[in-house]
Structure formats: C-alpha cells, structure tokens
Amino acid sequence: MTSTVSTPSTAQDLAALEKVWCSMTATSCPLQYNFHMHSVCSDGKLTPEEIVDQAIAIGLKGFAITDHHTVKGYYAAQAYLQQKAAEGVGALPHLWTGMEINGRLLGTGVHILAYGFDPTHAALADYRRREIQEGDKATADTIVRAIHQARGIAILAHPARYRRPASELVPAAAAINFDGIEAYYAYDNPNPWVSSIKHTPRMEEMGRSHNLLLTCGTDTHGLNLLRRL
C-alpha cells in the first residue's frame, strides 16, 4: 500500500490499517511496515522529516510516529510528505496518526499505542500535553475509551516487557476492549532487527485466541528506524 499524498483522511483510514494488520507476519517489520517509532518531539533522536526520509529510503509501505503524549511529530511528518508529493516523489509510504500513552493495567505501568484517531479530538486532549496522567485518567480502560471516542484503535505495546506477565496482561487488555497487541517486537534490540524468537509465537497465539489485531514496530528511539536504539 502506498499513498501519493498524506492527508488527515488517509491518516485516519482504519479500514486500510486493519487490512494491513490482518495480513501482517513476523517479517513485515522493519522493511515493509513500522508502527512504533519516536521523534525529537518526545524522546527520539530523529526529526519527523528524517523519519520520513528513512521511511522512503527503506521502502516502507506504511508507518506511524508514536511519540509519547504528543502528535507534533505526526503533523510535521504529514506536512513533509505533502511537500514530497508536490515535488513529484513517488511511492510515498502511508502515514497514520499515532501516539504512545502511559497507563496502568492490573496495577502495572503499561504503554498504550493509539492509531488512526482524530488528532484534534477533545477526548484525547489530556493525553496530548506531554504529561503523564494520574488517577482515573491513567487507567487503561479510561485511555482505551478515550482512543475509541477519538475514532482510533488501541494497542497494548510490547506485552512481554512489563512487570506482570503477558499471560495476565493480554487477557485483561482484551476484556477492556483493547483492539490489539504489538505481537512483533525485538525485545533484546538485536542487530539486524528481528521479531523476538522467544516471545513472538506466544504473542501471536494469545492475540489470535482473544481476537486481537497483531501489530509490529521497532520502537525506534535512536538514529536508525531499523533498530530500537
């Protein structure tokens, strides 16, 4: 899937996004799709424009910038993609809205990825301020409801990275209407990037048993979209 120009409507195209995720495998990331990355707008080292340049160079079909509690990186990347389209650059990747939100599930701190949402929606206003919320606003069920109100999709990031085991967190996530889990993730930061041999089969099994979408991402914080750090 490619897009000649990035617009708010294409960035919120949930049908296209779900179609991608339904066909995803452990080898879809990082050379075809990458739905977890951070820019200088939160705690990454790449500018949104540098992310777009790398995405084009890699040949990504689709991606999302998931900065912590901000959509500034998304807006900058969208504008840059529109500039590239105006310049006649072809085969541009499809950009979706994205954001990573800190929350609590079963009393444990977790990261919740939001995709395809309306970035201006009031339901997510408290989560777009670069502030980690507390109290009821920090609970996973409240965050998931807010993402859904903003017409987005809620994903549990890297389920095997938390203090509580994925075997507890994934069923709990499904019970409060998470849409999916980040099944394809490189927990040990290997070079080259490869989805965890240890965890991936179990994440696939649990996700499918709970009718959850399966997503992928490098969780890039450094200077290379093909690695986490």
Summarize pLDDT for 121-168 with one digit per residue, the tens: 999 999 999 999 999 999 999 999 999 999 999 999 999 999 999 999
Total domain count, the chain: 1
Which domain, by its residues, includes 117?
8-216
Q: Is residue 111 part of a domain?
A: yes
In tens, the pLDDT along 164-199 reads 999 999 999 999 999 999 999 999 999 999 999 999
* Residue located via tokens 């095997």: 160
Cβ burial of 90 (10 Å; 0-12, 13-18, 19+) is: exposed
- The answer to whether 56 touches 48, Cβ cutoff 8 Å, is no
**pLDDT at residue 205, rounded to an integer:** 98
Q: At what angle do helices 48-58 and 72-86 cross, to 10 degrees?
A: 50
Please choose, from the candidates 199, 195, 196, 219, the residue with its C-alpha nearest in 3D space to the C-alpha of residue 207. 199
Residue 49 has pLDDT above 50, yes or no: yes
Q: Is residue 37 part of a domain?
A: yes
Please choose, from the candidates 178, 161, 164, 165, the residue with its C-alpha nearest in 3D space to the C-alpha of residue 217. 161
Q: Is residue 222 part of a domain?
A: no
Q: What is the CATH number of the domain that holds 65?
A: 3.20.20.140
The structure's pTM equals 0.96
Q: Is residue 229 part of a domain?
A: no
**pLDDT at residue 4, rounded to an integer:** 47
Q: Is residue 225 part of a domain?
A: no
Written as one letter, the residue type at 45 is: K
Q: Is residue 117 part of a domain?
A: yes
Pairing between β-strand 213-216 and β-strand 153-156 as defined by DSSP bridges: unpaired
Q: Is residue 223 part of a domain?
A: no
